[in-house]
């Protein structure tokens, strides 16, 4: 009888999903049809019926950029760990927590999907990331489920935050969900430090197209906001072999074009930069240098056309630190902080192309080809054209590994320990 009921449920959910063709409905139906977590993109429903406090925290991004958020989580010390009161005590606020990190490197950059009309497929990718973190499965073994999900990707937050919250509610899971965009906007409001000029949001093309930051910032400030969307910088930081222009040159060109457009529009002077892509804190110094470079550049007539547009002192807002604070407040408020010390460390995973998947398109270097990556349609949440495998330092491109080692020491140490 139980088998017949389950079969009937699967049929009903499949019909509903086909009727709506909405990525959220498809993902909800897929997971509900497999409560034992026995197929890809599913979880064990029973894992979420007991005490979740000692489960790890899940963090995901389209690649390795989200490691900047993980670093912020591991370094966060804004509260007394015994009392919970405001004030650093020399012990990281999440010292008792474990983390499971996932970077969907095979499908990145997420920021370009909307530009080619694949927003619904992007939403599906984001929900697949969540289902991976909630579940126990990866390509060659098992992992723990998670009690909270940190969307450590601005594009994924912009296009997937509401989807994730709707799905978690439909599944009946008491899982905390935090996104970097809301946290970044709140961080700007709480740390303005007297800055009253324009805000430049530096992000991917996809994040800019969503207008997520202007909407979020409008709720907390009346300051003018202008966006700078880069199509290649995140991929360059990831070590994408298709991007051959040096990172410094990409940033300088992007900033130059942005300032030229802003000057032509009579934009308000800029005194704050919002690092609206999790990759960008890895090159924060280069970004600051590019604005300083253009501020001092002279035109043929000797004028400095951008001197009045760019403040001498630019404040940078990194949403990662504020995401850590938002997570702490959420877990503390829900009384879901870990209560038992665990000897288990953090776990790291990334996606890689699956050459055995029927019809998969691969480039010469083994990555998903551009045509295949951006030609896919949604409503196949259980597809396995990519596989999730443990992330190791050796799996990171050399330049990316160097950035992580130099800029994210806590995360680098944890990643090496997870080998």
pLDDT tens, the chain, 419 aa long: 444 444 444 444 444 444 457 999 999 999 999 999 999 999 999 999 999 999 999 999 998 889 999 999 999 999 999 898 999 999 999 999 999 999 999 998 888 898 899 999 999 999 999 999 999 998 888 999 999 999 999 999 999 999 999 999 999 999 999 999 999 999 999 887 767 899 999 999 988 999 999 999 999 999 999 999 999 999 898 888 889 999 999 999 999 999 999 999 999 999 999 999 988 998 999 999 999 999 999 988 889 999 999 999 999 999 999 999 999 999 999 999 999 877 679 999 999 999 999 999 999 999 999 999 999 999 999 999 999 999 999 988 888 888 899 989 999 999 999 86
Distance CA 42, CA 199 (A): 40
Give the chain's length.
Answer: 419
Rounded CA separation 112/126 (Å): 14
- Kindly report the pTM of this predicted structure: 0.85
CB 118 within 8 A of CB 109: no
Contacts of 134 (CB under 8 A, 6+ apart): 43, 48, 58, 145, 146, 149, 173, 175
Distances (CA, A) of 202 to 254, 301, 415: 10, 30, 28
Per-residue pLDDT at 399? 80
Q: Which domains does the chain show, CATH number per domain? A: 2-179+321-417 (3.40.50.1860), 183-319 (3.40.50.1860)
Q: Are 99 and 129 in contact (CB under 8 A)?
A: no
Partners of 273 in the beta sheet? 200, 316
Using CA atoms, how far apart are residues 20 and 311, in angstroms rounded to an integer?
Answer: 50
Orientation angle between helical segments 23-32 and 2-20, nearest 10 degrees: 170
Give bridge partners of residue 100 from the DSSP assignment.
Answer: 58, 347
Inter-residue contact 282 to 61 (CB < 8 Å): no
pLDDT at 239: 83
pLDDT value at position 242?
85
Cα–Cα dist 32/65, whole Å: 31
Q: What is the pLDDT of residues 245-285, one digit of tens each?
A: 999 999 999 999 999 999 999 999 999 999 999 889 989 99
Structure tokens at 306: 């951008």
Which residue numbers are catalytic? 153, 277
**200 token code pair:** 């430049």
Whether 274 contacts 64, CB under 8 Å: no
């Amino acid at each position: 009888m139980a088998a017949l009921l389950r079969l009937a449920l699967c049929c009903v959910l499949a019909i509903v999903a086909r009727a709506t063709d909405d990525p959220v409905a498809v993902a909800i139906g897929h997971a509900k049809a497999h409560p034992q977590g026995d197929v890809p993109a599913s979880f064990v429903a029973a894992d979420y019926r007991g005490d979740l406090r000692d489960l790890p925290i899940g963090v995901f991004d389209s690649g390795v950029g989200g490691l900047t958020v993980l670093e912020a989580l591991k370094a966060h010390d804004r509260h007394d760990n015994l009392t919970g009161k405001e004030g650093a005590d020399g012990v990281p606020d999440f010292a008792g927590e474990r983390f499971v990190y996932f970077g969907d490197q095979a499908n990145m950059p997420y920021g370009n999907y909307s530009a080619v009309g694949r927003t619904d497929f992007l939403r599906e990718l984001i929900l697949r990331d969540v289902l991976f973190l909630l579940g126990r499965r990866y390509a060659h073994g098992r992992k723990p489920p998670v009690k909270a999900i940190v969307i450590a990707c601005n594009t994924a937050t912009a296009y997937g935050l509401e989807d994730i919250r709707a799905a978690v509610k439909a599944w009946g899971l008491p899982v905390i969900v935090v996104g970097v965009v809301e946290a970044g906007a709140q961080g700007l409001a709480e740390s303005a430090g007297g800055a009253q000029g324009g805000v430049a949001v530096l992000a991917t093309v996809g994040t800019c197209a969503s207008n997520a930051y202007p909407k979020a910032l409008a709720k907390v400030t009346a300051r003018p906001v202008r966006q700078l969307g880069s199509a290649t910088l995140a991929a360059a930081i990831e070590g994408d072999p298709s991007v051959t222009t040096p990172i410094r040159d990409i940033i300088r060109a992007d900033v130059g074009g942005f300032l030229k457009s802003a000057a032509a529009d009579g934009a308000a002077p800029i005194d704050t930069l919002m690092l609206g892509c999790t990759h960008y804190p890895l090159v924060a110094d280069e970004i600051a240098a590019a604005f300083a470079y253009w501020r001092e550049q002279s035109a043929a007539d000797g004028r400095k056309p951008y001197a009045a547009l760019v403040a001498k002192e630019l404040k940078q807002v990194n949403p990662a630190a504020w995401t850590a604070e938002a997570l702490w407040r959420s877990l503390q408020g829900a009384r879901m902080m870990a209560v038992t010390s665990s000897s288990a460390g953090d776990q790291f995973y990334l996606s890689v192309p699956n050459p055995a998947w029927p019809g998969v398109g691969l480039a010469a270097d083994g990555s998903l080809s551009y045509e295949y990556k951006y030609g896919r349609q949604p409503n196949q949440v259980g597809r396995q054209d990519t596989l999730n495998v443990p992330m190791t330092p050796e799996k990171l491109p050399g330049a990316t590994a160097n950035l992580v080692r130099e800029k994210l020491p806590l995360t680098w140490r944890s990643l090496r320990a997870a080998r």
